[in-house]
Structure 1
Amino acid sequence: MSRMATTETSAEPLSIGEVAERTGLSVHALRFYEREGLLVGPVQRTSGGRRRYTASDVDWLLICVKLRESGMPLADLKRFAELVRHGPGNEAERLRLLDAHRQRVDARIQALEECRSVIAWKVGVYADHLARGEADGLWDPTA
């Protein structure tokens, strides 16, 4: 799998709105991520107090989005961010955390594939009955 990266390599800082647009996170969610310590570096501020993000912040947030979308618990994401913030020396713990999450995702994918199989079978049953004109009373709880 290729490394996720922002489409621009500009060193120009980004506003919170621009980061929201690039990551799919709301402005509210970005503020939450910052409060919860989910970013690996401090968000810079203008003299007027407005947040200014870097391309690295966006890259990190894109990873966070995928980890959350895949069901990583917030506590695990916080721990992962903390480990990354602390720098080299804790890679084995990062690997354990990510591998445990991958195993949960794999199990969820397997469960969803089993669900899809049952649904596909049921779709086939209904399609067959409808094609033959024999759908009346198919699993009719009132019969």
Structure 2
Amino acid sequence: MTISEVSEKFDIPQDTLRYYERIGLIPRVNRNKSGIRDYTEEDCNWVEFIKCMRGAGIPIEVLIEYVALFQQGDATIEARKQLFIEQRRQLIEKMKDMQKTLERLDYKIAKYENEVIPAEKALGKKEN
């Protein structure tokens, strides 16, 4: 696949794909005889993986470390596992924080829907 096809397939700008390759976030993509990037299925799997992890907020630095460890082979399996365990722990904490925020937003929306806030304002109460 060309970079434009991969860009369209994964909804990632071409410049971002080039950047990911340049910083080692995705392994070096082979090029055809004309020098154009030629993404294989394996390359696309890396792009999909990175998009998923970035979508969840996993830092680029952590993913670069993972890719580097992966490229070193099976001797790094435990290190990769520990890296993912730590990222999972952090993600669970973020999800808990997001859940609290969601609950607060739901509460505030319900207050607006029930017109409680306009009544409070009429009484001079402060909104939090």
TM-score for both structures, normalised by structure 2: 0.87
Identity %: 25
Q: Partner of 1:100 in structure 2? A: 86
Higher helix share: 2
Provide the C-alpha distance between the structure 1 equivalents of 2:39 and 2:124, rounded to a whole number of angstroms: 56
CA shift digits 1:54-92 (9 cap, x unpaired): 011101110111111111111111000111112212111
Distance 1:139 1:44, change over 3 A: farther
Provide the C-alpha distance between the structure 1 equivalents of 2:59 and 2:123, rounded to a whole number of angstroms: 41
Moved over 2 A (4+): 133-141
* Letter in structure 2 aligned against 1:121: Y
Matches within 5 A, 1:36-75: 36-40=23-27, 42-75=28-61
Provide the C-alpha distance between the structure 2 equivalents of 1:73 and 1:31, rounded to a whole number of angstroms: 18
Is 1:32 matched with 2:19? Answer: yes
* Letter in structure 2 aligned against 1:34: E
| Alignment length (residue pairs) | 125
Q: Partner of 1:85 in structure 2? A: 71
Cα distance, 1:44 vs. partner? 0.9
Q: Partner of 1:137 in structure 2? A: 122
Is 1:127 matched with 2:113? Answer: yes
Q: Secondary structure at the match of 1:53?
A: coil
Q: Is the 8 A contact 1:15 1:51 kept in 2?
A: yes
Provide the C-alpha distance between the structure 2 equivalents of 1:64 and 1:20, rounded to a whole number of angstroms: 13
- Coordinate RMSD, CA, aligned: 2.0
Is 1:18 matched with 2:28? Answer: no
Q: Partner of 1:7 in structure 2? A: none
Distance 1:117 1:16, change over 3 A: same
